[in-house]
């Protein structure tokens, strides 16, 4: 099959990538889909977790034509479905109808969703079961995008990131070529298709590379093991919290050859526990909603704490100008167009993205050593949560830990911590007091059964803070 894939070394000057959104016949993913369709027409494309076939490539195309008619004249549409077999067809149909598509997690609701829908001018929301909900919002001017991803700023308020189909295609090619994912593979889709990680690891590889997709939404360990076994999946992208629970499940004979961990930091403890029980390495994948894939650890070596690997193919990393050491610029053909609404002087624009993470080179790749947006202000003095977490992880019995700030009138913030493990609060306080300056020792403590995670697989600081309501002063 002849390929029209853009080279991964495409320039970053904006000439080929940063034009306004190209919908309809100019959408490069729709063009790539036609190539895939011509060669895979009657091949299975979508499977259920039990291994049964749900869609061929041609059946996706038929559904897409149906959805293109239903969404005709809709300027902006939100896809807020759970992982369903119809998902790829609705996306194709929306683009074929000329819609700007907004990806919305299934658990997003209430006033926050209403504000988002008004901000993005969403006219139709497609919910679970492919139900269409008409909304009274006017499309904003100058959107200039094919798709909007959502991300949370440091304030926690959601904002949108604008992408052309060309940028999404570049990210898909980067992911598949760096990870060695090919047509003979079968992706297990348990993470949300609406999240940047799931979209670029599962949806675009199906549409742009013809890589079959297993649709699953049950994240219980036994259900995942059964689904991975029956579906004969070969590639399994998930988050560290999922791999932590799976490490305690006895695996069976699997076709699984590649396990990818992203969405949150992968600890050496989780990587070692999973490898010990499953006999497979967890390959750390680091990316951002604004830029797609950034780094990937393709080696079979043990995972050092915080290690995310070298830059992916076609991704250029360099020290950010006029910023402290550890702040990097990401340059690639997959970096988004910008935020909606625009953020003056922000970290995204002209093919460059500056993540909030602090990255340090270690010879064979990069290690995430902290995050600027999580720095705590304790009475005017700055402290990294990762520093305190690193100390507490060395305490006997500690399995996991999360450090965060609570508002405090007199000091700006207090240090709070939640710990998972067989350890007492008294032991933790003594351990911290002997190894940290007094002002860095947490004031608020909880030993919990597990750290709560949100729909994107990240530790939910909001849920953790709720445990301490009324304690800060």
Residues in the chain: 473
Say yes or no to pLDDT of 45 above 90. yes
Structure tokens at 185: 């593979």
How many angstroms separate the first and last alpha carbons of the chain? 65
Q: What is the pLDDT of residues 61-120, one digit of tens each?
A: 999 999 999 999 999 999 999 999 999 999 999 999 999 999 998 878 888 899 999 999
**pLDDT for res 119:** 93
Q: Mean pLDDT, the chain, as a whole number?
A: 88
Structure tokens at 131: 């139900």
Q: How far apart are CA 358 and CA 372, in angstroms?
A: 7
Beta-bridge partners for 150: 160
Helix, strand, coil proportions of the chain in percent (round to 5)? 30, 25, 45
**pLDDT for res 321:** 84
Contact 346, 276 (CB under 8 A): no
**pLDDT for res 431:** 95
Most confident of 94-98, 337-341, 413-417: 94-98
Q: What is the pLDDT of residues 194-240, one digit of tens each?
A: 999 999 999 999 999 999 999 998 989 999 999 999 999 999 999 98
**pLDDT for res 157:** 61
**pLDDT for res 152:** 65
pTM: 0.80
Say yes or no to pLDDT of 9 above 70. no
**pLDDT for res 24:** 47
Q: What is the pLDDT of residues 349-400, one digit of tens each?
A: 889 999 988 899 988 999 988 777 667 877 666 777 888 998 999 999 999 9
**Full set of structural domains in the chain with CATH:** 24-371 (3.40.50.12780), 375-466 (3.30.300.30)
Would you call 269 exposed, middle or buried from its count of C-beta atoms within 10 A (0-12, 13-18, 19+)? Answer: middle
**pLDDT for res 158:** 73
Say yes or no to pLDDT of 283 above 80. yes
Contact 89, 64 (CB under 8 A): yes
Beta strands in 57-137 (DSSP E): 76-80, 100-103, 124-127, 131-134
What value does the mean pLDDT take over residues 339-343? 88
Q: Is the dihedral of CA 154, 158, 159, 161 positive or negative?
A: positive
């Amino acid at each position: 099959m002849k390929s029209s894939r853009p080279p991964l070394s495409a320039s970053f000057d904006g000439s080929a990538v940063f034009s306004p959104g190209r919908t309809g016949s100019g959408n490069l993913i729709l063009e790539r889909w036609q190539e895939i369709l011509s060669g895979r027409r009657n091949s299975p494309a979508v499977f259920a977790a039990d291994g049964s076939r749900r869609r061929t490539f041609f059946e996706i195309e038929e559904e897409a034509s149906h959805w293109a008619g239903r969404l005709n004249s809709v300027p902006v549409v939100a896809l807020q479905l759970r992982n369903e077999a119809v998902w790829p067809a609705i996306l194709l149909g929306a683009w074929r109808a000329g819609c700007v598509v907004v990806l919305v997690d299934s658990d997003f609701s209430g006033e926050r969703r209403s504000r988002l829908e008004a901000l993005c001018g969403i006219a139709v929301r497609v919910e679970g079961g492919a139900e269409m909900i008409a909304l009274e919002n006017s499309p904003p001017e100058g959107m200039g995008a094919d798709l909007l991803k959502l991300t949370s700023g440091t304030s926690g308020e959601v904002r949108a990131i604008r992408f052309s189909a060309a940028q999404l295609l570049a990210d898909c090619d980067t992911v598949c070529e760096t990870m060695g994912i090919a047509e003979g593979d079968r992706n297990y889709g348990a993470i949300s298709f609406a999240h940047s990680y799931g979209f670029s690891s599962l949806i675009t590889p199906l549409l742009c590379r013809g890589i079959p997709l297993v649709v699953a939404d049950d994240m219980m360990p036994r259900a995942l093991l059964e689904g991975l076994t029956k579906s004969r999946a070969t590639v399994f992208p998930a988050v560290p919290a999922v791999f932590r629970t799976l490490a305690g499940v006895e695996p069976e004979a699997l076709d699984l050859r590649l396990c990818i961990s992203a969405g949150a930091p992968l600890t050496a403890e989780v990587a070692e526990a999973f490898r010990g029980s499953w006999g497979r390495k967890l390959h750390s994948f680091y990316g951002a909603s604004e830029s797609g894939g950034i780094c990937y650890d393709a080696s079979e070596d043990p995972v050092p704490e915080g290690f995310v690997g070298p830059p992916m193919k076609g991704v250029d990393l360099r020290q950010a100008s006029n910023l402290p050491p550890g702040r990097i610029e990401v340059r690639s053909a997959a970096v988004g167009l910008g935020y909606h609404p625009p953020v003056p002087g922000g970290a995204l624009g002209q093919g460059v993205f500056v993540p909030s993470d602090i990255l340090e080179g270690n010879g064979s790749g990069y290690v995430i050593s902290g995050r600027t947006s999580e720095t705590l202000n304790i009475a005017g003095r700055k402290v990294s949560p990762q520093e305190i977490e690193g100390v507490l992880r060395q305490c006997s019995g500690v399995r996991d830990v999360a450090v965060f700030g609570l508002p405090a009138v007199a000091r700006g913030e207090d240090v709070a911590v939640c710990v998972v493990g067989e350890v007492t609060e008294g032991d933790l306080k003594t351990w911290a007091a002997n190894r940290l300056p007094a002002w860095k020792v947490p004031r608020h403590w909880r030993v919990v059964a597990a750290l709560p995670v949100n729909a994107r697989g990240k530790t939910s600081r909001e849920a953790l803070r709720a445990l301490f309501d009324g304690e800060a002063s």
